[in-house]
Amino acid sequence: RLKCNNGGGIERTFSNTLMTISLNAIGMHIPDHEVKRHEFFGTYGVARDITDRKRAEEVISYQAYHDILTDLPNRMLFKDRLGLAVIQAKRKLTELAVMFVDLDRFKLVNDTLGHVKGDELLQQVALRLKDCLRRGDTLARQGGDEFTIVLPELRDRQDAKAIADKFLESLHQPFDLDGHEVHISASIGIAIYPGDGETIDELLRHADIAMYQVKALGKNGHSFYHNSMLDVSHQKIALEQSLRKALEQNELEMYYQPQVDVATGRIIGAEGLMRWNHPQRGLLSAGEFLPFAEDNGLMLPISDWMLGALCRDLLLWNAAGGENIRLSLNLSPQYLDRGDFFEKMRGALTRYGISPAQIEVEITENICIRNPQYAIDQLNKLCQLGVSVAIDDFGTGYSSLSYLHRFPIHTIKIDQSFVKEIHDEQGHYPVILAIISIARGLGLHLVAEGVETDVQARYLQANGCTTMQGYFYHRPISLPNFINVLQLERGDQLEPPRPHALHAVPHHMTAIQA
């Protein structure tokens, strides 16, 4: 505060404002030669208003501790708050909870609707989560679609459970992103101080592990950390490491699941499904390890391997008389995303002398969401080459119908989840009927997947779907077994034709299984 030296006797009025200044001042002296001293007579100084600089510094330090998108504390501030809460809890002998919240399917929304909408969704999620909390709780964004929460001064675990339930319920309401209705859910892991850990890092790590457990068990839920989960997460890390080795050590193998035309009872195609002969854990199916591959950048080398393996196997099955049997391969979105899929495919077919007409690629509806035009171009080139395209898991992804017009499609595969619903041959299953009529209307080939019972097969056939794939006919089988099946079938041709394949228990089923 500066005051005026009211020397002149003139009254002056000042308005007082408080501001931040930087001040520098120099004493002024008159040299006094007699006493050889300088006599002080005043101060000369400059006060600079640095309000703007101060404000900028505050913004910078705010940004260093907050997430710009959601305005929530970031991971640094979170750790700081958690640290304080732990000290308090130790002193007051109370418990506290750390939660790890990870949105399910966020990536899909991001890929489908774009990053701008994805960001908007994160902002809306942040607001909803915040609304569920008390004052004194800290909600932070850890990065991506991950949020962390500290609930200090917990009365008991039930409090944490109640908040987690509240989170899930509030996220359950659909989100409106400029007219797009979006549904998401979350997986929540909870660790309690001091039982589940006494340090910041331990608590966070254990909440994270509990969250992964929820993901693994089907998402959309919450779970408290438990020591037994450590084994699971160690297993996961071990799986990841050994998957890298599996490729080098030739532990992967393609299995084939026949597709049967029930009108004739004959195999008309087979889908290649990857298997891993794990040295300790035995035969693992694709669903057990490919998701890890997707998350760890292993999908590209694995897909490269798959192309080669399929071609080599196809030569063998052709030699066994299967030239008329189409091979369907699953195309990972990541593989299609990378520039050279088409070239690789064409290269492999040429190298092995395989006719493109014998190949079908199965894609899911989510395959071309990141870079649709590019994916469509690739698929078009494939079609020109003579390879056909099937939509896998039809009806379960985003915007199924709009894709049907965007690139050439030859086949749609009715997803297993719809087939599972069929329990009664006389029943009415509108989704199945709708898919069948779409296929008919567009002149597409139709395959029903996951057919497990006689009832399902009859219902599908009665309503016009005649190509089927599922355990009722064959499980996925190794190449030698598949070749056996083909040869058995060729042998059959020499016998008098059987009346109707569908009504008999498929004869290969018991003889040859995976």
Residues that bind Ca ion (CB under 5 A): 330, 362, 392-393, 449
Instruction: With contacts defined by CB under 6 A, name the span among 89-97, 344-352, 446-454, 491-499 that binds ligand C2E.
Output: 446-454
Between the alpha carbon of residue 340 and those of residues 300, 344, 378, the distances in Å are 11, 6, 9
Is position 330 an interface residue for ligand C2E (rule: CB under 6 A)? Answer: yes
Judged by beta carbon, residue 182 or residue 435, the one nearer ligand C2E is 435
Site for ligand C2E contains 287 (CB under 6 A): yes
Contact 1, 21 (CB under 8 A): no
Q: Which of 257, 366, 466, 467 binds ligand C2E (CB under 6 A)?
A: 257
Tokens of 378: 């690739």
- Between 200 and 252, CB nearer to ligand C2E: 252
Distance CA 297, CA 196 (A): 32
Binder of ligand C2E out of 306, 359, 361, 390 (CB under 6 A): 306
- Minimum distance between the CB of residue 392 and Ca ion, rounded to whole angstroms? 4
Q: Is 286 in the site for ligand C2E (CB under 6 A)?
A: yes
Q: Is 290 in the site for ligand C2E (CB under 6 A)?
A: yes
Which CB, 21 or 108, lies closer to Ca ion? 108
Q: Is 209 exposed, middle or buried (0-12, 13-18, 19+ CB in 10 A)?
A: buried
Smallest distance from ligand C2E to CB 271, Å: 7
Return the SS3 of 317. Answer: helix
- b/e sequence 398-424, b meaning 16+ C-beta within 10 Å: eebeebbeebebebbbbbbebbeebee
Strand partners, 444: none
What is the DSSP pairing of strand 467-468 with strand 445-448? parallel
Residue 197 has φ and ψ, to the nearest 5°, of 155, 150
Q: Which stretch binds ligand C2E (CB under 6 A): 15-23, 445-453, 455-463, 490-498?
A: 445-453
CB of 472 to ligand C2E, least distance (A): 7
Between CA 93 and CA 194 the distance in angstroms is 9
What residues numbered 109-138 form the site for ligand C2E, per CB under 6 A?
A: none
Q: Is 108 exposed, middle or buried (0-12, 13-18, 19+ CB in 10 A)?
A: middle
Contact region for ligand C2E (CB under 6 A) — 103-111, 214-222, 270-278, 350-358?
270-278
Q: Which stretch binds ligand C2E (CB under 6 A): 33-41, 77-85, 173-181, 272-280?
A: 272-280
465 binds ligand C2E (CB under 6 A): no
Residue 190: beta bridge partners?
99, 224
Nearer CB in complex with ligand C2E: 265/272:
272
Residue with tokens 């071309």, as numbered in its chain: 368
CB of 420 to ligand C2E, least distance (A): 8
CB of 452 to ligand C2E, least distance (A): 4
Contacted entry of ligand C2E, Ca ion, none for residue 313, CB cut-off 5 to 8 Å set by kind: none
Q: Binding of ligand C2E at residue 392 (CB under 6 A)?
A: yes
Residue in 86, 450, 468, 502 binding ligand C2E, rule: CB under 6 A: 450
The option from ligand C2E, Ca ion, none interacting with 306 (CB < 5 to 8 A, set by class) reads ligand C2E
DSSP class per residue in 42-68: EEEEEEEE-HHHHHHHHHHHHHHHB-T
Q: Convert 430-458 to b/e letters by CB count within 10 Å (16 or more is b).
A: eebeebbebbeeeebbbbbbbbebebbbe
Tokens 């070749």 found at? 483
Q: Does 471 bind ligand C2E (CB under 6 A)?
A: yes
Contact between 388 and ligand C2E by CB under 6 A: the answer reads no
Region from 62-70, 136-144, 196-204, 469-477 binding ligand C2E, contact rule CB under 6 A: 469-477
- Contact characters 399-438, ligand C2E, x per CB under 6 A: -----------------x----------------------
Residue 137: name the closest of 157, 158, 151, 155 by CA: 151
| Contact residue for ligand C2E among 118, 152, 258, 272 (CB under 6 A) | 272
> Which of 246, 318, 316 lies closest to 284, judged by CA?
246
332 scored as a contact of ligand C2E (CB under 6 A): yes
- The distance of closest approach from Cβ of residue 419 to Ca ion in the complex, given in angstroms and rounded to an integer, is 10
- Find where tokens 């130790």 sit: 90
Residue 123 three-state SS: helix
Q: Give the shortest CB-470-to-ligand C2E separation in angstroms.
A: 3
Site stretch for ligand C2E (CB under 6 A), options 127-135, 242-250, 281-289, 350-358? 281-289
Structure tokens at 101: 């919240």
The one of Ca ion, ligand C2E, none whose footprint includes residue 479, by CB under 5 to 8 A per kind, is: none
The verdict on 104 binding ligand C2E (CB under 6 A) reads: no
End-to-end CA distance of the chain: 87
**Helix, coil or strand: residue 121:** helix
Residue 297 near ligand C2E by CB under 6 A: no
Q: What are phi and psi of 61, to 5 degrees?
A: -75, -30
Written as one letter, the residue type at 321 is: G
Check binding of 305 to ligand C2E (CB under 6 A): no
What residue 433 binds from ligand C2E, Ca ion, none (CB within 5 to 8 A, per partner kind)? none
Considering only residues 189, 197, 470, 506, which one is a binding residue for ligand C2E as defined by CB under 6 A? 470
* Residues 6 or more apart in contact with residue 207 via CB below 8 angstroms: 98, 99, 100, 148, 189, 190, 191, 196, 225
Judged by the rule CB under 6 A, the positions of this chain that interact with ligand C2E are 257, 272-274, 285-287, 290, 303, 306, 330, 332, 362, 392-393, 416, 450-452, 470-471, 476
